[in-house]
């Protein structure tokens, strides 16, 4: 399948790389890893994400400033990254083939070609295998993007998707001059005051049920307004809830214009991906999510708790 992907790339001149709405490090890192490779092959390549603004914590990634918010006029091939379903790309489906690169077992396989390996710790690891299949030398800027994606999607090598293969991949990337210190510094030591205030609100709003084994919080549009926090500043709030000693399942609701974005985390006893799928979402056993148009947050919480199996 990797060779099929390279054939599609070879047959295309105008190639668009796109990642999901409200991107994380894996989505952006995977996309930007392939950007200079295709550009140097002589392709007319565009990197796209419809989210405005993009999370500034990733602005150290090479070619971050090349990311556009709209599709170019011509697309011969669309390559998506770390996106479980097409609707999460936030675009109309183009009249062009799609290569769908991901590692989520819940991926809906919407591509013309689906490069999905759920055994990989990150979508960027699938990108790395694609480069290997094409005999593409690993250069520093590419390695930095792939390592950033790998580190963040494994919780800096602390999640259940970490195994010996994960560290072999990391070793290869560091050997190609990716700098773990620089990546960690940029992702962990550049918090804004607004983000810290939002974290404080999350703790203030934290509610515990089921003998304190389930923790949840609801962040409203007003919370973001009064702190000046961006949507991306909430990315780690659900992990903050999970960090409480007694909590086995963490739930975070984030109010949006037409409903709520729901993030689910587990310490392993509950498969939150199964819960997310039941609501039309997806993810991993310990990290998953979905969006809903339901406007009553307590109803959403109650329906989720009914599905929690501890």
Residue ranges in the chain modelled with pLDDT below 50: none
Reading the block at residue 215, the tokens are 């923790």
Q: For the packed helices 123-133 and 25-40, what is the interaxial angle rounded to 10 degrees?
A: 20
Distance between start and end Cα atoms, the chain:
39
Q: For the packed helices 140-153 and 164-175, what is the interaxial angle rounded to 10 degrees?
A: 150
For CA atoms 187, 245, 302, 154, the dihedral sign is positive
Tell me the pLDDT tens digit for each residue of 142-173: 999 999 999 999 999 998 889 999 999 999 99
pLDDT, position 176: 98
- Mark residue 109 as left, alpha or beta (left: phi above 0; alpha: psi -120 to 50; beta: remaining): left
Domain 2-188: give its CATH superfamily: inorganic pyrophosphatase (n-terminal core) (3.90.1640.10)
DSSP state of 251: E
Which residue is it, tokens 């392709």?
A: 43
Domains of the chain, by residue range, sit at 2-188, 193-307
Closest CA to 118 of 290, 283, 287: 283
Class of 193-307 in CATH? alpha beta
What's the predicted TM-score (pTM) here?
Answer: 0.90
pLDDT, position 159: 86
| Residue 299, beta-bridge partner list | none
DSSP, collapsed to helix, strand or coil, labels residue 15 as strand
């Amino acid at each position: 399948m990797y060779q099929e992907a390279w054939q599609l790339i070879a047959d295309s001149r105008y190639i668009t790389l796109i990642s999901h709405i409200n991107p994380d490090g894996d989505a952006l890192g995977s996309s930007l890893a392939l950007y200079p490779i295709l550009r140097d092959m002589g392709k007319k390549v565009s990197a796209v994400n419809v989210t405005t603004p993009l999370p500034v914590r990733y602005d150290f990634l090479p070619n971050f400033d090349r990311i556009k918010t709209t599709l170019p006029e011509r697309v011969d091939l669309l390559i998506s990254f770390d996106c479980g379903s097409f609707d999460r790309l936030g675009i109309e489906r183009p009249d062009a083939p799609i290569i769908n690169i991901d590692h989520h077992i819940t991926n809906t396989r919407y591509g013309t070609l689906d490069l999905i390996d759920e055994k990989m710790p990150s979508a960027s690891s699938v990108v790395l295998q694609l480069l290997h299949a094409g005999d593409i030398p690993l250069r520093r800027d590419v390695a930095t993007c792939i390592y950033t994606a790998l580190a963040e999607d494994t919780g800096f090598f602390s999640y259940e998707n970490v195994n010996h293969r994960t560290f072999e991949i990391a070793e290869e990337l560091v050997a190609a001059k990716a700098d773990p210190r620089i990546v960690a510094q940029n992702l962990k030591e550049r918090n804004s005051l607004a983000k810290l205030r939002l974290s404080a609100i999350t703790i203030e709003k934290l509610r515990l049920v089921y003998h304190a084994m389930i923790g949840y919080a609801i962040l409203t549009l007003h919370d973001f307004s009064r702190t000046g926090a961006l949507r991306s500043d909430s990315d780690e709030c659900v992990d903050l809830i999970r960090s409480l000693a007694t909590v086995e399942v963490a739930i975070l609701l984030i109010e949006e214009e037409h409903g709520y974005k729901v993030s689910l985390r587990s310490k392993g006893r509950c498969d939150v991906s199964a819960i997310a799928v039941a609501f039309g979402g997806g993810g991993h056993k310990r990290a998953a999510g979905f969006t809903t148009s339901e406007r009553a947050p307590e109803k959403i919480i109650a329906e989720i708790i009914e599905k929690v199996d501890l």
